Chains A and B, each alone.
Chain A
Amino acid sequence: MKPHVKPVSWEALAAEPEFRALLRARRRFVVPATIFFVTYYLALPISVGFWPQLMSRPLVGPVTAAYCFALSQFAMAWILLALYLRRARRFDIAAAQMRRHETRELLDEVR
């Protein structure tokens, strides 16, 4: 790790309300989304493993409930991806603002 040009006070940066808000916003998305996708995914091997008869029932034409559930995992993954990409633009803006602050402070000090 390269030594930083100026001794940034990371504690001060971490305590800034702007940063706390960014962290909270990230967590508000990432934590529930992670819990959701892990649960939704594990529901597949659990349901197929423990209730094979139920999951073998044809649901759409000959396609079984298990197969439909497996296919729905693809849709789930892509939808969560799209939601995250949309939400992440806000995180990018907040992060860019923090970086700009830091650069400005650095320039002020040099002057």
Chain B
Amino acid sequence: MNAQPSLVMFGVFVGITLVVTYWASGQSQTGRAFYAADRRIGGLQNGWAIAGDYVSAATFLGITGLVAFYGFDGFMYSVGWLVAYLAVLFLVAEPLRNTGKYTVADLMSFRLRGRGVRAIAALSTLAITLFYLIAQMVGVSAIVNLLLPRFGDVVAIVTVGVLMIVYVLFGGMLATTWVQIIKSGLLLLTTIGLALLAVGHFHFSLGSFFNAAATVPEGARASNLLQPGLLFRGPLGAWNLISLGLALVLGTAGLPHILMRFFTVPSARAARTSVAWAMVLVGVFYLMVSFMGLGAATIVGKDHIGRRMYAGQAIHYISNHPQDQQTLDVQLKTDGYIVPKPDSNLAAPLLAQQLGGPFLAAFVAAVAFATILAVVAGLAITASSAFAHDIWFSLVRNGRGDETEHLFVARGTALVFGALAIALSIALRGFNVAFLVGLAFAVAASANVPVILLALSWRRFSRTGAIAGMLAGLVSSLLLIAISPVLMGARALFPLENPGIVSIPIGLAGAIIGTLLARDRESEAMFDQLQVRAATGIGAEV
């Protein structure tokens, strides 16, 4: 694929976002402005920004590819990720806005005062954010290798990392929000356009579109992409599916970078409106992605999805792989190129190329980069707030220290965290780190969600319970993933790929048992205040 048009389009996106950052930098001089955009983001804007924060390149390229290769089973991810917002809507968004200031730890330590709860809540935020961030940045190198092979992956990781630091350092939450809104618009436009082109290929007849998807030629046979079981199979397929589903549907309500967005709006009502918009946008996006995936399978064809080798390169490859010579020779003669190794991540750009030529493919590649950039910026500001607000300001300095110091630490954290993420991602590039996203969701669902829900609803809930719950959830999900097939292959001690079905109950049990061990009168005394403030917004941070 020719790199130049993509780079130009990506450059335009970066240029626009840098102008936004420059504009925002004048308005990011207080803690409230830096972390929460002065709570002046509207519900509609925040909804777009949440969608921008949530939909990563892994979703855009990865889910399109999974649907193209595995049909229905790939679509299962999308369903969980949308339904998950109901938990955010009903249980978390409004109370969080009413009782917190800048971070998830604020909500947890509202009644569970003291250093322990805040420290561990900040730790779990940093862990989730780092896993997610590395997954995104290593994804950069994968995408560069695939889409722009001549553009080195180290250069790409550093470019994305430096831009992320610039957005957060100078523009704070305001710039990050607008980067996400712009990206959301671009991404939605792209997916709707590609889905329409794909269905248009079948003369806008959904009947023939789905008929084609039900009989996709695969070698000599035809496979039905509308049928379940192509990805999750075997005796444990059902349990893998259920465990993943649980982590997806509960995890979102514990993702710190999503929850942090609710502090940028003026009221609980605006927080609710923003979830509503996010649900509409994310839902439309996932529907379109499934059309794109089925389109890629039927229009491009699975055998053609992967890095393509032409002419000399292809002949060179074939001469080095004599065992595949026959099939590859046939492919080269009929298509003019060979695809030695299928790669589902290329389904979206190749669909674009087939339907709209190289220009559209370049546009899709540029949108994928923009997507990564917006997501990593959101993660960096989340990590920065967890360290500066929770660990430095509340724990080390005991709430003392002025705004200048606060901002200095926040910016310093963004810089250090960004540099760390760049270094780790360069070290880990080439490894398959897709499991880190699943891990982030599992930790969020097991460590954060039970504690958030119990803190909001159980009078007796105690500090010991919160600490036990978070530690149990965090440790069990880390441990289970370490001994799962994802990292240990066939010798795995734990049979499932996602730990959710075990680690979520462990997190919940830890929280309940810890609470029953000893009474926490102070936490019980604060419960009335928490309930009143969470439901009415009296005394909410403005």
Contact = CB atoms under 8 A, between A and B. Distances in A.
B82 A74 contact: yes
Contact of B245 (A45, A67, A91): A45
B279 A77 contact: yes
A30 B90 contact: yes
A33 B86 CA distance: 9
Nearest to A16: B532
Contacts of B286: 74
Given A19-B535, A64-B72, A67-B72, A84 B528 contact: no
Contacts of B211: 61-62
Contact of A61 (B90, B207, B237, B245): B207
Q: Among the interface residues B227, B280, B286, which one has the most CB atoms of the partner chain A within 10 A?
A: B227
B245 A44 contact: yes
Contact of B532 (A19, A61, A74): A19
Contact of A14 (B241, B269, B531): B531
A74 B287 contact: yes
B2 interface: no
Interface in B510-542: 528-529, 531-533, 535-539, 541
Interface string A12-40: 01100001001100100010011001100
Interface in A52-78: 52, 55-56, 58, 61-64, 66-67, 70, 73-74, 76-78
A109 interface: no
Nearest to B533: A10
B528 A1 contact: no
B90 A84 contact: yes
Contact of B536 (A2, A46, A63, A99): A99
A98 B214 contact: no
Given A22-B536, A64-B226, A78 B76 contact: no
Contacts of A2: 541
A92 B269 contact: yes
B110 A42 contact: no
Nearest to A44: B79
Contacts of A66: 72, 226-228
B89 interface: yes
6 contacts: A10-B533, A19-B536, A42-B242, A61-B207, A67-B226, A74-B286
Given A13-B532, A70-B76, 7 more contacts: A10-B529, A33-B86, A37-B87, A45-B242, A61-B210, A81-B279, A95-B268
